[in-house]
Structure 1
Amino acid sequence: MYMIRALRYRCSQQTSFGHEVLAVFKRYLNSSETATALRPFYFIVHPDLFGRHPKERLVNEHSLKILHEYVANLKTQQSYTRKPIDLVFYIRDPNNQKSFKDIKISLQSTDIRKTVSTILQSCGLPLDYINTVPVQQKTRRTNPAAKWYTNYDVPEWNSRTEPKYKAPAQRSLRKWLEENYERVQRYQEASRQTQSEIDSLCERIVARVGVQSVRWENIWGNRHYIACLRTFSQLSEGQPARMRNTLQGRTLIFGNETGVNLHGEIVLGSEDVTTEWINLLKSVHAYDPMIERLPRMEQELSRLLNNIQIMRRQKREFVMAQNYEVLLNKMLNSLRRCQHVVVKELGDQDLSHLNLVVECESGPLALSNCGQFLIPASIPGTIMLKFIVENIERAATFLIDAKLHTFYMDQILDQCNNVLNVSSLQRDDAITPQQMTKCCQRLLDNQQLLNPLLQGTRLKVSTYYTVMKDGEITIPWNWI
């Protein structure tokens, strides 16, 4: 038995053309189906649910890591290298939520469907979902002399039919790629020449002033990036020693405004004059104490909210350090004035498994798809606490869901990069890990149709079709 387990038989009747029909049954769960099937299991064993129980948390973390590796090997068809393993997980006793019992799971099957079933059954969880996932059947005409295929030799064939999944897009991905193929190639060729100059300028800047890296985080294209690099390169030529003293080991970003962001990275606005750049570079070291204060302020905010984790969202290059410090100060002062409400609403409840983001100055309270509380700094502490208390369970559910789907998304991204031979594959911020997983799974399922059109391209998954001037292709996640 293997991850893709095929049960094959020959039909007893010959076709009028002297061929047989070979039916192939694939006992296979794709990444999205595996994540959905294991969802109930994650909700009872995830380490984030054992914040105040370090022993149980550590055991579950270790077992989950091994389980992830086991499932990943099954999905990459490396199952024949896996030996049977025994895992232990702690779950809460259904009869007494304050105590735990250990569950032993023995994994020895090399079939992904049976492995998932074993995990669920070991924890007493139902198989309702996995039983609804059909054993897929595909047929293929063969000649009577067709050989009996073994588990090691699964035949491939081209399917000329459109995917069964119908999304609310107006045209198929394949047709759109064919229509834009020449334009993409033309843009990519022009982009290669531009990228060569960018790489050369960046290397020169890194060598001269000792920055750790140079990055472009801007809505404008590569021509604006080259202009910024040339300007900065000329600026650094006049005083390389002073520039090196200021920028040694730091990250340099060309963005929309000038300043030092909350990560301590130097941001130079692409539309600002060089005088503003120089003024910032003269005062960079004055920001260092502020950058050191920010983690301590986040720790204090976490303490006031029963150890909730204060997170910084990934795409925060343009949140400047001084602005972020002001936001943290406002929220800290608001919570200090209502600590009696915190005690009343939360008591000694530990929130270390939840995440909070200090989002902005003002705006609506929100819970992101990833389970993060997005809190504006100007919101009164009492309203903030009420929102958190009302959404604790939803936040924990979203957070575990996001981690589960992110794990499977990372797995399938590796497969796509290897199989589709794209130069890069990214997702838009608006696309969830679950949507990205579904999109990538269907790209893999249709690889033979799409491979020639996608090879060597830079691919981004979003909600629309477009071709950027640098040759990057954007496609909707629910393409047809």
Structure 2
Amino acid sequence: MYMVRHVRCLLLKSFRVKDLSVLKRSLNSSETATALRPFYFAVHPDLFGRHPKERSVNEHSLKILHEYVAELKTQQSYSTKPIDVIFYIRDPNNKKSFKDIKISLQSPDIRKTVSTILQACGLPLDYINTVPVQQKSSFQQRTKQGVKWYTFYDGDLGSRSEAKYKAPAERTLRKWLEENYDRVKRYQEASLETQIEIDSLCEKIVRRVGVESVRWENIWGNRHYIACLRTFNQLSEGQPERMRNTLQDRTLVFGNETGVNLHGEIVLGSEDVVTEWINLLKSVHAYDPMIERLPLMEKELSGLLNNMQIMRRQKREFVMAQNYEVLLNKMLNSLRRCQQLVVRGLGDQDLSHLNLVVECESGPLALSNCGQFLIPASIPGTIMLQFIVENIDRAATFIIDAKLHTFYMDQVLNQCNDVLNVSCIQRDDAITPQQMTTCCQRLLDNRHIINNLLQGSRLKVSTYYTVMKDGEITIPWNWI
């Protein structure tokens, strides 16, 4: 017995001394982004617009730092070499001057690396100290809660009794995947032949008429897409040369309405008759001068707002070029009438780090999560200017936040594609990069219990559960 106790003590002592690092939990992507947030607000190049030297140094150092952190996050610490990076930060005693900070990165541990970065810049470690070194699994946490006791009244005896009841089972991701596994596989197999026909028809159209690409941007499913492709394929067979002259090197989109969108893409409405398609295709070249004018109008609008960048949101395929030109004209005329107010309100500030989107004809003024000013064209210039002036600092904060979280989102997405048994993973427009990072990190942490249920699936992160007819799985970002 003494020998057994002695061996146990030796093993425990050995474990505590030599393997303490096993207990250390590395920061995940979401935690790393949150911990480094103060650092980004101190050194981000966007905050050094009028200081090209400091901006250039910080931009180059951030790139190196990103690569270093990326290697640590992908668990390639064996290949990371010690590096020194220099950043400029504002002198706390004199806001108009800068001081250079040299940061030596040589630890293979992401937690220690983040601490080194923050300490070098004199930034607090409050958040990183709150992140536990060891984390219990969600299963352990649920088990620790145990069984809940419920009080009820006995109907026959009229006396109060206590009985042991299990709480209602929560709708977990694993349980939902198990319930829908057969349906997902059935939909995937059924859509396989459909996808093969879609790919074949798209290849024929690309070869015959010389379009750069063919895309489906519609709320309807693949069966409607196939119907559109078949109709267009038959149409192009009758006059291939004329079609080629019209569509050479352009993008063909099947959407909700027919026209040329603000990106210059040819959009054919899935519910429109072929005659409307033909009428558009006959007049495509008439839209070319308009498409060329749009960047010039955006440049003029940018100049009126101290070089603020005029952005076109990616998911704007259904905004047609002629409608967008009208919106730009309205906003230009509104700002031209109050340029003296613009000069007084914005002064000589360089706003090239901020973004503005001409959103629609009418609606509320808004600032998106990624820092874009969403401005309706009919808003008076004075009100637009007041909103911009009041939200300049807030917009800059949102932009830096979005860039930081997008970087870590891309990292964790790459890990998901490598580790999870999914064919692809994407996010809904309503999901922020931070939410996507949190969701994907938890998918990675729980891969051992869900990977077998995701085999070959296409996964989309949104705010709800559903299975699409083509077998795509949609899950909420905050699943349990």
Match of 1:193 in 2: 193
Match of 1:355 in 2: 355
Query: Contact 1:26–1:137 (CA<8 Å) still a contact in 2?
Result: no
Query: Contact 1:30–1:441 (CA<8 Å) still a contact in 2?
Result: yes
The offset of 1:163, in angstroms, is 7.6
Match of 2:15 in 1: none
The offset of 1:372, in angstroms, is 0.6
Match of 2:91 in 1: 93
Match of 2:396 in 1: 396
Matches within 5 A, 1:254-403: 254-403=254-403
Q: Does the residue aligned with 2:124 lie in a helix, a strand or coil?
A: coil
Q: CA separation in 2, counterparts of 1:77 and 1:215?
A: 37
Query: Contact 1:25–1:138 (CA<8 Å) still a contact in 2?
Result: no
Query: Contact 1:29–1:113 (CA<8 Å) still a contact in 2?
Result: yes
The offset of 1:170, in angstroms, is 5.2
Q: Does the residue aligned with 2:253 lie in a helix, a strand or coil?
A: strand
The offset of 1:26, in angstroms, is 2.3
Letter in 1 for 2:95: Q
The offset of 1:94, in angstroms, is 2.1
Matches within 5 A, 1:148-297: 171-297=171-297
The offset of 1:362, in angstroms, is 0.2
Q: CA separation in 2, counterparts of 1:190 and 1:366?
A: 43
Q: CA separation in 1, counterparts of 2:81 and 2:439?
A: 32
Letter in 1 for 2:56: L
Q: Does the residue aligned with 1:423 lie in a helix, a strand or coil?
A: strand
Whether 1:123 and 2:147 are equivalent positions in the alignment is: no
Letter in 1 for 2:430: A
Letter in 2 for 1:295: P
Q: CA separation in 2, counterparts of 1:380 and 1:170?
A: 51
Letter in 1 for 2:46: D
Match of 2:454 in 1: 454
Instruction: Note the alpha carbon deviations across 1:237-271, whole angstroms, 9 max, x for none.
Output: 01000000110101000000001111111100000
Match of 1:408 in 2: 408
Q: Which one has more relative contact order, counting CA pairs under 8 Å at least 6 apart? A: 1
Letter in 1 for 2:100: D
Query: Contact 2:25–2:135 (CA<8 Å) still a contact in 1?
Result: no
Q: 1:27 to 1:200 in 2, by over 3 A?
A: same
The offset of 1:349, in angstroms, is 1.2
Match of 1:134 in 2: 132
The offset of 1:162, in angstroms, is 7.5
Instruction: Note the alpha carbon deviations across 1:382-439, whole angstroms, 9 max, x for none.
Output: 0001001111111111110011000000000010111002011011110000000000
Q: CA separation in 2, counterparts of 1:392 and 1:254?
A: 38
Letter in 2 for 1:259: G
Match of 1:151 in 2: none
Q: 1:64 to 1:386 in 2, by over 3 A?
A: same
Letter in 1 for 2:33: A
Percent identity of paired positions between Structure 1 and Structure 2: 85
Match of 1:71 in 2: 69
Match of 2:432 in 1: 432
Q: CA separation in 2, counterparts of 1:92 and 1:14?
A: 52
Q: CA separation in 1, counterparts of 2:458 and 2:140?
A: 26
Letter in 1 for 2:444: L
The offset of 1:451, in angstroms, is 0.2
Match of 2:102 in 1: 104
Extract structure 1 runs of 4+ deviating beyond 3 A.
Answer: 10-15, 159-164
Q: CA separation in 1, counterparts of 2:307 and 2:383?
A: 19
Match of 1:114 in 2: 112
Q: CA separation in 1, counterparts of 2:380 and 2:265?
A: 31
The offset of 1:137, in angstroms, is 5.0
Letter in 2 for 1:274: V
Q: CA separation in 1, counterparts of 2:326 and 2:451?
A: 50
Q: CA separation in 2, counterparts of 1:93 and 1:267?
A: 54
Instruction: Note the alpha carbon deviations across 1:343-388, whole angstroms, 9 max, x for none.
Output: 1111111111111110000000000111111000000000001001
Q: CA separation in 2, counterparts of 1:407 and 1:100?
A: 26
Letter in 2 for 1:52: R
Letter in 2 for 1:75: K
Match of 1:34 in 2: 32
Query: Contact 2:298–2:310 (CA<8 Å) still a contact in 1?
Result: yes
Instruction: Note the alpha carbon deviations across 1:304-359, whole angstroms, 9 max, x for none.
Output: 01111111111011111111111011000000000010011111111111111100
Letter in 2 for 1:66: I
More helix by share: 2
Match of 1:149 in 2: none
Q: Does the residue aligned with 1:459 lie in a helix, a strand or coil?
A: strand
Query: Contact 2:26–2:110 (CA<8 Å) still a contact in 1?
Result: yes
The offset of 1:44, in angstroms, is 1.1
Q: Does the residue aligned with 1:98 lie in a helix, a strand or coil?
A: strand
Match of 2:418 in 1: 418
Q: 1:115 to 1:332 in 2, by over 3 A?
A: same
Match of 2:477 in 1: 477
The TM-score, its normalising length taken from structure 2, stands at: 0.89
Q: CA separation in 2, counterparts of 1:270 and 1:220?
A: 9
Match of 1:154 in 2: none
Q: Does the residue aligned with 2:329 lie in a helix, a strand or coil?
A: helix
Match of 2:151 in 1: none
Q: 1:137 to 1:379 in 2, by over 3 A?
A: closer
Q: Does the residue aligned with 1:272 lie in a helix, a strand or coil?
A: coil
Letter in 1 for 2:464: Y
Which runs of 5 or more structure 1 residues have no equivalent in the other structure? 1-9, 16-21, 140-158
Q: Does the residue aligned with 1:389 lie in a helix, a strand or coil?
A: helix
Q: Does the residue aligned with 1:134 lie in a helix, a strand or coil?
A: coil
Q: CA separation in 2, counterparts of 1:314 and 1:461?
A: 18
Which runs of 5 or more structure 2 residues have no equivalent in the other structure? 1-6, 13-18, 146-168
The offset of 1:454, in angstroms, is 0.8
Q: Does the residue aligned with 1:452 lie in a helix, a strand or coil?
A: helix
The offset of 1:93, in angstroms, is 2.0
RMSD across aligned positions (CA): 2.0
Q: CA separation in 2, counterparts of 1:50 and 1:309?
A: 17
Q: Does the residue aligned with 1:313 lie in a helix, a strand or coil?
A: coil
Q: CA separation in 2, counterparts of 1:117 and 1:163?
A: 32
Q: Does the residue aligned with 2:86 lie in a helix, a strand or coil?
A: strand
Q: CA separation in 2, counterparts of 1:443 and 1:163?
A: 18
Q: 1:311 to 1:470 in 2, by over 3 A?
A: same
Q: CA separation in 2, counterparts of 1:385 and 1:102?
A: 36
Query: Contact 1:262–1:291 (CA<8 Å) still a contact in 2?
Result: yes
Higher radius of gyration, 1 or 2: 2
